[in-house]
Structure 1
Amino acid sequence: MQRVTVTLDDNLMDELDKVVRERGYQNRSEAIRDLTRAGMQQTLVDSGAVEECIGVLSYVYDHEARDLARRLTNTFHHDHDLSIVSTHVHLDHDRCLEVSILRGEPRMVKHLADHVITERHVLHGKLVLIPVEDNEAGGEGA
């Protein structure tokens, strides 16, 4: 492990200390390592340097909306090779939450997620991408 000196302005240090407290990190170094890993993973996916990723797509939709459930199902059937598993939760009388685990080329996973999230009557949606690294190339893997 190497030691590094970093200069942060007061506001950023206050924000870092808040993260350390709220998330329960043992110290600033642990928080910085964790945040750095997350940023590097996102940079890998965004840069196109990763050939495969895991996508966690969560979205809330109005299940009473005309034809929406059928359109969403058709979307997933069209890209069935990307879909690993989905779970469905009834939030209340009108709204449902679905969480889908996707795996594939980042561009294709993003395309599927964008198609779902932009459907009319999908109220909230978020995609989190995690790079799948080649273990034989020295990566930690997913």
Structure 2
Amino acid sequence: MPNVTRITVSIDEPLLEQFEKFLADNGYPTRSEGVKSIMRKALIENEWLTENTDVAATISMVYDHHKAGVMQKLTDIQHDFGELVVCTQHVHLDHHNCMEVLILKGLASRIQAFHNALKSVKGLKHCTLSAATTGEDIH
């Protein structure tokens, strides 16, 4: 186990009660685990604001593959941003609807531009970016 430092934090009672409820609702076993999770989330959000830092992400899309041109346009955009795409997963949800999940690694600004290009495709039912980290600078 790495070195652990104990800290003391002063918190108003109403905020602590809200935090305790948050911990219970989200299954955190201890306050420490909840605080560490929130700290990591803030650090990851900060990574996305830093220039020239590689980040990771997923983009999830749902579309009707029968809509004219949707699949071709999505494929063209993916090729335009090919350096970001680590892998893709395509599944058939039903006779009409498909879901694609793209796993990405690259500069946050480039990933956001990719997401913006994809979500502008007419006929797309859903397109969500989930920001993540490569983990290199998060402990």
Structure-1-length-normalised TM-score: 0.82
Compute the displacement of 1:99 (Å).
0.5
C-alpha spacing 1:16/1:77, structure 2 compared with 1 (3 Å): same
The unaligned stretches of length 5 or more in structure 2 are none
User: Which of the residues 73, 76, 79 maps onto 2:75?
Assistant: 73
Q: Residue type matched to 1:37 in 2?
A: R
**Number of residue pairs matched by the alignment:** 135
C-alpha spacing 1:14/1:51, structure 2 compared with 1 (3 Å): same
User: Which of the residues 33, 54, 57 maps onto 2:56?
Assistant: 54
Question: CA-atom RMSD, angstroms?
Answer: 2.1
Compute the displacement of 1:38 (Å).
0.7
* CA distance in 2: counterparts of 1:105 and 1:51, whole angstroms: 6
User: Which of the residues 5, 9, 28 maps onto 1:5?
Assistant: 9
Q: Residue type matched to 2:108 in 1?
A: P
**Are 2:35 and 1:32 equivalent residues in the alignment?**
yes
The unaligned stretches of length 5 or more in structure 1 are none
Identity across the alignment (%): 23
Please give the secondary structure, in 2, of the residue aligned with 1:31: helix
* CA distance in 2: counterparts of 1:26 and 1:32, whole angstroms: 11
Q: Residue type matched to 1:112 in 2?
A: F
Moved over 3 A (4+): 12-15, 131-134
Q: Residue type matched to 1:115 in 2?
A: A
Q: Residue type matched to 1:56 in 2?
A: T
